[in-house]
Chains A and B, each alone.
Chain A
Amino acid sequence: NAGVTQTPKFQVLKTGQSMTLQCAQDMNHEYMSWYRQDPGMGLRLIHYSVGAGITDQGEVPNGYNVSRSTTEDFPLRLLSAAPSQTSVYFCASRQAAVFSYEQYFGPGTRLTVT
């Protein structure tokens, strides 16, 4: 299994540009999430999904859109990038089973908005 994969690894955008960060998992996990990590801080939840077709907002959703059309993929869209969105983005997944606790994190995407 590849686990949780994210592309690209690095990206530089100009203010106002749009882009999509890709996240995929091959473990058939129901739950998927996007977090951002700013320097010297913990991760903050942007959006999450409990299954295909179901998404909800996390702590810092403004400026980001998500959709979940398949179990495997959970892309994060920046519609109009702003310097405040410069951050490292992590995708995570987990099984929905009651006794399944382990969260699996992707390698991250480092985004710079100039």
Chain B
Amino acid sequence: ELKVEQNPLFLSMQEGKNYTIYCNYSTTSDRLYWYRQDPGKSLESLFVLLSNGAVKQEGRLMASLDTKARLSTLHITAAVHDLSATYFCAVDIKAAGNKLTFGGGTRVLVKP
């Protein structure tokens, strides 16, 4: 059974500082997704990582994937208040169609 664990569960950030969210998964997977969710809203896609060593960056967010360690990281550079949200990673397996397995989420609060 595929399991996905994120840590930390909650991250209080100071503006201007750097932080990392970790996502571990238990079995070989084909794709790793990062999503952002604002309170009361749906999920917004941030990144899809497809292969070992993949790195994607958008603004202050950078995601990377190490398939050998079964680990993905979401790095936040110089945090700003607008990045306050809950971040989820999710993994799937090609052969399993549309079945995403989600981590429990990391709630991020960026304080001035």
Contacts and interface: CB of A to CB of B under 8 A. Distances in A.
18 contacts: A32-B98, A33-B100, A42-B103, A43-B102, A44-B102, A45-B99, A48-B98, A49-B98, A58-B99, A59-B101, A90-B42, A96-B97, A98-B94, A101-B31, A102-B48, A103-B33, A103-B45, A106-B42
Interface residues of B, number: 21
Residue of B90, B94, B98 with most chain A CB atoms under a 10 A cut-off: B98
Given A101-B31, A101-B50, A103-B33, A43 B42 contact: no
Contact of B42 (A50, A94, A107): A107
A87 to B, nearest CB: 14
A75 interface: no
Count class of interface residues, chain A = 20 to 34
Contact of B99 (A33, A40, A98, A105): A33
Nearest to A94: B98
Contacts of B25: none
A88 to B, nearest CB: 9
Given A31-B98, A45-B101, 20 more contacts: A35-B100, A40-B105, A42-B103, A42-B104, A43-B88, A43-B100, A43-B102, A44-B102, A50-B98, A58-B99, A59-B101, A90-B42, A94-B98, A96-B97, A101-B50, A102-B45, A103-B33, A105-B42, A105-B43, A107-B42
B105 A42 contact: yes
A105 B99 CA distance: 13
Contacts of A102: 45, 48
Contacts, number: 61
A90 B103 CA distance: 16
Interface of B: 4, 31, 33, 41-43, 45, 48, 50, 88, 90, 94, 97-105
Contacts of B88: 42-43
Interface centre among B33, B43, B102 (most CB of A within 10 A): B43
